[in-house]
């Protein structure tokens, strides 16, 4: 195991900057997810770590070892791709054993121990003699994971490994990944655009946009305290509401009228800001109440885990709410919206301000 240090790394392709002056350390023995939309630079960063791309400037270190100029085969990195390379004429066990058979320092007893451990963690002992063609896409990807971790590389990189896996198999595969990462404790860097994968698997998430890491944090804190509007919008289904507000006497005026939000930063009187509130922290009432603002229900849908998602038209903006259970409200119905200030964040110029609840 080893930490991965990204030091002042930039990668350009002609005039396009794919990774922009990045500085971050991925912890030894931890699972770090590189999360972000397509084109944010996460795959380019991964390719530089493994040695498939060379930084335009900056350095990548594994511990105190500078990887500059080293080819992939000399970096002791395992990889799991979207499309795993499997050998159909070999069994599951034989596919997993391939990198072990190429290492003369591993004796037969150690070889058997590692294979048994991997098969046990992946819950594939009963498929050890099956051929690859007999497996579904999720099980084939499990074999690819087993092969990557069995060799005990310093680092294992996952490049969106569930993209081409069926939905039901994908859920089982994510559970298997979590077991592998927790039990084997290798340094793992996992590239994904799927926030559910990132929030489920990661010890830390590096949220990326336009070649930069906009926030590097533990999953719970990243979701609870997004430091930018982008982070609040990107994380969540649906993402955070951003509601127009203004500053009066050092406080952001709560648009719902039930308690303003004190600011711990100097902000100009009358400045326009936005109050960020998660949909699950929005409360919907049928009748008028102190601090509640009237709106009209635009539409409703059933989201993940059966939670009802409502979209409410307010005066010049829209609010999303997420409710437990079903609602008999219909589009066009008047509703009254409120939210507690201690569940809110305040943003100016896209960045979070230190507030009384921060």
Grouping H, G, I as helix, E, B as strand and the rest as coil, residue 296 is strand
Backbone phi, then psi, for 201, in 5-degree steps? Answer: -90, -35
CA–CA separation, 115 and 111 (whole Å): 6
Domain ranges of the chain: 4-224, 231-353
Q: What is the pLDDT of residues 252-275, one digit of tens each?
A: 888 876 678 888 888 888 899 999
Tokens matching residue 313: 């038209």
Q: At what angle do helices 92-101 and 137-150 cross, to 10 degrees?
A: 20
Give the number of residues written for the chain.
358
Tokens matching residue 240: 């955070």
- The pLDDT value given to residue 356: 64
Distances (CA, A) of 107 to 32, 76, 103, 112, 271: 32, 19, 9, 9, 69
Give the strand pairing for 241-248 and 293-302. Answer: unpaired
Distances (CA, A) of 304 to 122, 159, 301: 27, 25, 10
Q: What is the pLDDT of residues 164-176, one digit of tens each?
A: 777 777 777 777 7
> What 8-state DSSP symbol labels residue 358?
-
CA–CA separation, 326 and 323 (whole Å): 7
- The pLDDT value given to residue 291: 84
Q: Look up the CATH architecture of domain 231-353.
A: Beta Barrel (2.40)
Give the strand pairing for 31-35 and 16-26. Answer: unpaired
- Upper half-sphere CA count for residue 138 (Cβ side, 13 Å): 15
The dihedral built from the CA positions of residue 339, 345, 348 and 350, taken in this order, carries a sign that is: negative
CA–CA separation, 83 and 90 (whole Å): 17
Tokens matching residue 217: 């944090």
CATH superfamily label, 4-224: P-loop containing nucleotide triphosphate hydrolases (3.40.50.300)
- The pLDDT value given to residue 358: 47
Nearest to 209 by CA among 9, 11, 18: 18
* Alpha helices, H only, 12-150: 42-50, 92-101, 108-121, 137-150
Examine residue 238 and say whether the peptide bond preceding it is cis (omega within 30 degrees of 0).
yes
Nearest to 235 by CA among 212, 252, 219: 219
- The pLDDT value given to residue 255: 82
Q: Alpha-carbon dihedral of residues 53, 39, 35, 226, nearest 10 degrees?
A: 130
Q: At what angle do helices 167-184 and 137-150 cross, to 10 degrees?
A: 20
> What 8-state DSSP symbol labels residue 173?
H
Contact 134, 106 (CB under 8 A): no
Grouping H, G, I as helix, E, B as strand and the rest as coil, residue 79 is strand
CA–CA separation, 17 and 79 (whole Å): 25
Contact 46, 36 (CB under 8 A): no
CA–CA separation, 36 and 22 (whole Å): 15
CA–CA separation, 232 and 253 (whole Å): 20
Q: What is the pLDDT along the chain (358 residues), one digit of tens a residue?
A: 789 999 999 999 999 999 999 999 999 989 999 999 999 999 999 999 999 999 999 999 999 999 988 999 899 898 888 777 888 889 999 999 998 988 888 999 999 999 999 898 888 999 999 998 898 888 888 898 888 888 888 898 999 888 877 777 777 777 777 777 777 778 999 999 999 889 988 999 999 999 999 999 999 999 999 999 999 999 999 999 999 999 998 888 888 766 788 888 888 888 999 999 999 999 999 999 988 999 999 999 987 767 889 999 998 899 999 988 667 889 999 999 998 788 889 999 999 998 765 4
Q: What is the pLDDT of residues 16-61, one digit of tens each?
A: 999 999 999 999 989 999 999 999 999 999 999 999 999 999 999 9
């Amino acid at each position: 195991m080893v930490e991965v240090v990204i030091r002042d790394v930039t990668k350009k392709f002609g005039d396009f900057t794919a990774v922009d002056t990045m500085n971050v350390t991925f912890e030894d023995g931890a699972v770090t997810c590189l999360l972000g939309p397509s084109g944010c630079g996460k795959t380019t960063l991964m390719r530089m770590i493994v040695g498939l791309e060379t930084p335009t400037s900056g350095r990548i270190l594994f511990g105190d070892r500078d990887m500059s100029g080293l080819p992939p085969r000399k970096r002791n990195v395992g990889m799991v791709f979207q499309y795993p390379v499997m050998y159909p004429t070999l069994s599951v066990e034989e596919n997993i054993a391939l990198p072990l058979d190429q290492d003369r320092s591993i004796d037969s007893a150690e070889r058997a121990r590692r294979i048994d451990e991997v098969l046990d963690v992946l819950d594939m002992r009963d498929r050890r003699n099956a051929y690859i063609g007999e497996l579904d896409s999720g099980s084939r990807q499990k074999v690819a994971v087993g092969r990557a971790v069995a060799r005990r590389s310093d680092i294992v990189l996952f490049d969106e490994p569930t993209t081409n896996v069926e939905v039901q198999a994908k859920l089982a595969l994510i559970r298997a990944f979590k077991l592998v990462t927790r039990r084997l404790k290798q340094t793992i860097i996992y590239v994904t655009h799927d926030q559910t994968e990132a929030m489920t698997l990661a010890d830390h998430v590096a949220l990326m946009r336009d070649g930069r890491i906009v926030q590097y944090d533990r999953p719970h804190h990243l979701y609870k305290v997004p430091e930018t509007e982008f982070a609040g919008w990107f994380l969540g289904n649906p993402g955070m509401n951003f509601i127009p507000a203004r500053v009066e006497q050092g406080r952001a005026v709560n648009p719902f009228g039930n308690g303003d939000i004190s600011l711990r930063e100097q902000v100009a009187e009358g400045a326009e800001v936005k109050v960020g509130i998660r949909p699950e922290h929005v409360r919907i009432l049928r009748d008028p109440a102190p601090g509640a603002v009237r709106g009209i229900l635009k539409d409703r849908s059933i989201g993940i885990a059966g939670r009802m998602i409502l979209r409410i038209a307010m005066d010049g903006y829209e609010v999303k709410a997420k409710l437990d259970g079903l609602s008999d409200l219909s589009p066009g119905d008047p509703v009254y919206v409120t939210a507690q200030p201690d569940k809110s964040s305040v943003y100016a110029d896209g960045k979070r301000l230190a507030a009384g609840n921060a």
